[in-house]
Structure 1
Amino acid sequence: MDNDWFRANDKGYSRPTARSRELRRNTTEAERRLWQQLRNRQLRGKRFNRQFPVGQFICDFACREQRLIVELDGGHHAHVLDYDLRRTQFLEAQGYRVIRFWNNEVMENIEAVLMRIGEALDNRPSPGPSRRREGSLWSRSLRSRGSI
């Protein structure tokens, strides 16, 4: 499969926050629907961020406290399994657990999706009292090289 989808989405952003903002403005219906259920600590009292950057990747939803990433996949993901596998491996190497849902799962049975996310939150112990900001792997790697 050719990677036109990825090239079309790579607009040369120098900072992941600019791309995150654009993605938040252009969400899918499934993302909007799930966000309405996750925002404002509505699920298990946990805070979620949407379009959250981790390294070079931008994740649909992230609960940083529990190091849980929730990804919603549309039909095009059936053709990019290698990319999704590499992405998941990177995120897991950063200490996150990744769970994935198809968009139609959210649209047809959001209660089951929320139940599975809740179970994932319940099965992941809180990392403790550390207040270290997470997700900024890009700046952390620059700091370790002495660039900033």
Structure 2
Amino acid sequence: MTPPEIALWLVLRSNEAGLRFRRQHAAGGHVLDFYCAPARLAIEVDGECHNHGDRPERDAARDAWLVAQNIHILRYPAREMLANLDDVLRQITSVAVDRRTSFES
């Protein structure tokens, strides 16, 4: 894992909502950076390489496959993990709690 992914993993593991996340989760032919199964939520931390070559097209194809599986994707630039980690965690937690609640009903 990259330093931004490590920073996010450390706060995801100890989140106050009690959400459980997996890292490097296999989904179809893809590997998700982080995944919360009860919320059907994928979190991707995108470094600069995601803006070059065929990565944008590959990311779009993966996102389309995930959406077809009813998995919501949150994407964050790697620099956000270092600059605004608390805000990112709040957003992820909020989305995950809302989605988990909708699947429990």
The normalised TM-score by structure 1 is 0.65
Which residue is equivalent to 2:103? 127
Residue 43 of structure 1, CA deviation = 4.3
In structure 2, runs of 5+ residues without a counterpart are none
Alignment deviations for residues 59-90 of structure 1 (CA, whole Å, 9 cap, x no partner): 00000011000000000101221111110010
**Who is 2:4 aligned against?**
30
Structure in which a larger fraction of residues adopt helix: 2
Q: Which structure has the larger Rg?
A: 1
Give 1:44 shift. 1.4
CA separation in 2, counterparts of 1:69 and 1:107?
A: 19
Q: Which runs of 4+ in 1 moved over 6 A?
A: none
Aligned partners of 2:39 and 2:97 also within 8 Å: no
TM-score (norm 2): 0.89
Q: Percent identity?
A: 34
Give the aligned CA root-mean-square deviation in angstroms: 1.5
Give the structure with the higher percent strand. 2
Structure 1 residues 83 and 43: alpha-carbon distance in aligned structure 2, compared to 1, 3 A threshold = farther
User: Please, which of 34, 40, 45 is the counterpart of residue 61 of structure 1?
Assistant: 34
Conserved in 2, the CA contact under 8 Å of 1:70 and 1:100? yes
CA distance in 1, matches of 2:91, 2:85: 10
Between the aligned partners of 2:42 and 2:81, the Cα distance in structure 1 is: 16
Q: What's 2:80 paired with?
A: 105
Structure 1: tracts of 5 or more residues without a match: 1-26, 130-148
Q: What is the CA–CA distance in structure 1 between the aligned matches of 2:6 and 2:68, rounded to whole Å?
A: 28
Match of 2:64 among 64, 79, 89: 89
